Structure 1
């Protein structure tokens, strides 16, 4: 009888220990699974990138006419997000510029188109859409040039410089094309509105000149320096029109 009681007591003790272990395992396992899921959620972030069309205007050219009596112009800008890093970009403009040189005064007037791409080098955080880019453009301009006045060079100006001679000679059907490297940035100020600037380094490919004359200013290319080199500046305000979204998963 004593042996049976000892056996029964031992059996009950064994069952109690087994039940206690069985109860502890489910309590530990869910906590472990929940912890693992939380770690996975923390390590994976899901966002949606917006794709669409951005259109705007160059404020530099638009406002330059207020302080420069020799200039009138406007440039419309636009880009379309092709994929995560690349944007198709274009600029369309018109300029009317009077150039006053030491020996002559000319007026250039015409329109231009530039097209190419931008590559965004900036890694945005979640919900940021800022751009720091470098890109390439091909530009083409069609314009006319008018000679307003000129001075005859006097190698021995004993009696002083000769006065400017009025002229009214116009050259139509002129054209030029060029390549330019563009670097700049765009920052999102508030919902869908971006402010940015860019600097362009340009080199001429073709340049149709008047007979016995030169193109001192080419619309879209700007002033020509040393024959084929030019620079440009852009300060723009653009509005983004979202068209669709793509999911992005980053670890």
Structure 2
């Protein structure tokens, strides 16, 4: 009887031991699996984000048609300017611009004068296409540029007042001509611009043609100070009567 009881207890103990061993093994395996997975997740290195590489994909040259329209409207103004730009994935535009300006202004009454400013100018800057994710060939840009000009000017004027010259005492209406000429002067400005670039077609020759509208805000940086006559019109900048000047350009460009 005792032996049977011992056998029953022994078999029960073995059964419990096997059950506990099996259950414990499952727990240990689960822990190892969890730890391995966690370690794998923790130790897995993060993939670096791909760096943006901007490759020059096109080169464009163009002419400012708006200046030519103004030349036809005003015979006293002669201006020509062109631009060149490198497009980087239709995201960034490296822009260069240069031109020539010859402006003549005059007044006849009461004391006549004639002012002429002749010079060359250039700008360099960058533009960013704010809609590059939506547009593959067109662009709406915001940009900034630095502009500089080198010019000469000449002022011819007449004096009718007799107090300006002893020879006018006998004849108070005698007219005396005076002339002021200054050369090789420099001028610079900063520029903020915004505009739009539109491709005329997707195929054929017109697919290489772009229209560009550019609105400009020019802010004077430096102008000649030790001068006899203040320059009133600057090539590339425009009227110099205020430190801030507004401008507009309309370019037709060809893409290579």
TM interval, shorter chain, is: 0.5 to 0.7
Match of 1:188 in 2: 199
CA RMSD of aligned residues (A): 2.6
Q: How is 1:147-166 mapped onto 2 (pairs within 5 angstroms)?
A: 147-149=155-157, 166=177
Match of 1:85 in 2: 91
3-state SS of the aligned residue for 2:200? strand
Separation of aligned partners in 1, 2:101 and 2:143 = 23
Match of 2:218 in 1: 202
Superimposed CA distance per residue, residues 80-102 of structure 1 (whole angstroms, 9 cap, x where no aligned partner): 11345211001110000113368
Cα 1:51–1:107 shift into 2, 3 Å: same
Separation of aligned partners in 2, 1:67 and 1:120 = 33
Conserved? CA contact 1:105–1:150, under 8 Å: no
Q: How far did 1:237 drift?
A: 0.2
Separation of aligned partners in 2, 1:225 and 1:130 = 36
Match of 1:135 in 2: 143
Match of 2:185 in 1: 174
Q: How far did 1:124 drift?
A: 5.7
Superimposed CA distance per residue, residues 35-74 of structure 1 (whole angstroms, 9 cap, x where no aligned partner): xxxxxxxxxxxxxx98111110000112322220110111
Counterpart check, 1:107 vs 2:122: no
Give TM-score, length-normalised by structure 2. 0.64
Conserved? CA contact 2:90–2:139, under 8 Å: no
Greater RCO (Cα-Cα under 8 Å, separation 6 or more) = 1
- Of 108, 111, 127, 1:118 maps to 127
Q: How far did 1:165 drift?
A: 5.9
Q: Is the radius of gyration larger for structure 1 or structure 2?
A: 2
3-state SS of the aligned residue for 1:66? helix
Conserved? CA contact 2:56–2:86, under 8 Å: no
Aligned length: 183
Separation of aligned partners in 2, 1:140 and 1:180 = 11
Give TM-score, length-normalised by structure 1. 0.65
Unaligned runs of 5+ in 1: 1-48, 154-161, 242-251
Unaligned runs of 5+ in 2: 1-54, 162-172, 202-206
Separation of aligned partners in 2, 1:213 and 1:150 = 15
User: Which of the two has greater strand per residue?
Assistant: 1
Match of 2:249 in 1: 234
Conserved? CA contact 2:155–2:229, under 8 Å: no
Cα 1:174–1:238 shift into 2, 3 Å: same
Separation of aligned partners in 2, 1:216 and 1:132 = 33
Separation of aligned partners in 1, 2:148 and 2:180 = 24
Conserved? CA contact 1:95–1:109, under 8 Å: yes
Match of 1:27 in 2: none
